Amino acid sequence: MRVCIAYNSTKGQKIADFAKALGKGIEKQLSNSVVDIIDIAKDSDKRLTGYSYIVFGSEKTSIFNLKVNKQISHFLKNCGHITGKHTFAFTSNGFNSQKFLNNFMKTIESEGVLLKSSALISSTEEAEVIGSKLHIK
């Protein structure tokens, strides 16, 4: 099974670290899976059509800005056929994070994916546990 973790990190390394920890957890759960981690800012032309399960991660651009980064919207429109794919969304835990996550999930769902679950993540350890318990089929 091919799993993709696509994330967008605008300020710092936190979301990238969470993406890597989620990947470790998924690999523990599914020993025969291939987990690719994509930085949306660097690989904006990457196609996600061949993946069975997709994890999306992003963070707020500022403490009060709840809008989803335009890079993510652009990436989703150009990442290939993802309609009907099972997905998971995450962001870092903090002030107004749940409201941002709701906006992020709406953006992802607008592309026709099946959003199975989401999470606010506080640490890399938590991210790895979440990855090991995701219901990936």
pLDDT of residue 61: 79
pLDDT of residue 63: 73
**84's torsion region: left (phi>0), alpha (psi -120 to 50) or beta?**
left
Domains for the chain: give ranges and CATH numbers.
2-133 (3.40.50.360)
Residue 54: which pLDDT band, with cuts at 50, 70 and 90? very high
pLDDT in tens, 70-127: 899 999 999 999 999 999 999 999 888 999 999 999 999 999 999 999 999 999 999 9
Say what the pTM is.
0.94
Which residue, 128, 120, 64, 130, is CA-closest to 92?
120
